[in-house]
Structure 1
Amino acid sequence: MKADGAVIVFDGVCALCSRWVRFLLRFDRKGRYRFAAMQGAHGRSLLMAHGLDPDDPLSFLLVEGGTAYTDTDAIVRVISGLGGAWRLAGAARWIPTALRDRGYRWLARNRYRWFGRHETCFLPTLEQRGRFLD
């Protein structure tokens, strides 16, 4: 599959991250986003190409239009990109990035402890499979 469009790289064994992907699959009715687990070849190469360590996954990555967005900039952009009332999430851009990202990093460091970890990566349904790069 070609990696055209917006690609979200997520931690496939993180329970919170898997719920995030399921949320996006439900609300991204236009199929705007594609997904790549950081444990897969596509996700790993995207992380490395954008200066992120695939073996220390504390960043969320969105690659859209050839530009990489990380952490809360990526999250706000993704949610706003769902359209409709979700665009209101763009108001979060008024919160200083350093403050938003500090909160994000705190959550990212504790995500396995608080939300759990799966032994295997999130597996999409047959209908969802075309939205995943690996």
Structure 2
Amino acid sequence: MADKVAKGRHQASRGEEQGLAVLTEADVVAIREAYAAGKAGLRKLARQYRVSTRTIAGACYGRTWRHVPSPYMFRPRAKTKLTEMQVRAIRTRHAAGERCNALAREYGVSDDTISSIVRRFSWKNVE
């Protein structure tokens, strides 16, 4: 195995090319989108696609299916109250003139949290 990898003769199967894959790339994008929008949780998506919760979590968090481009890729954050989609909405709404304290009340976080998000001190990876 190491020899063929070193000589460039090894091509790992990814995604649908892998023989045991249950999900398709289109499924993965739809799963990420539904999860990001809060339309469905991991368990509901797992039942819908007839796979394990771990499979869905892997697709959402980028542990698996990394090669599938999607704006909805999640990175789990410890003890977070907000999703990446909410952070984008906060920045957009603040730029449109909404005040930090109003946004903080709506999202159930402190004014300082909103201020840090808007000034990109936190959630730097989210555009």
- TM-score by shorter chain over 0.5: no
TM-score by length of 1: 0.28
Looking at both structures, which has the greater relative contact order when contacts are Cα pairs under 8 Å and sequence separation is at least 6? 1
Judging by fraction of residues, say which structure has more strand: 1
Rg larger in structure: 2
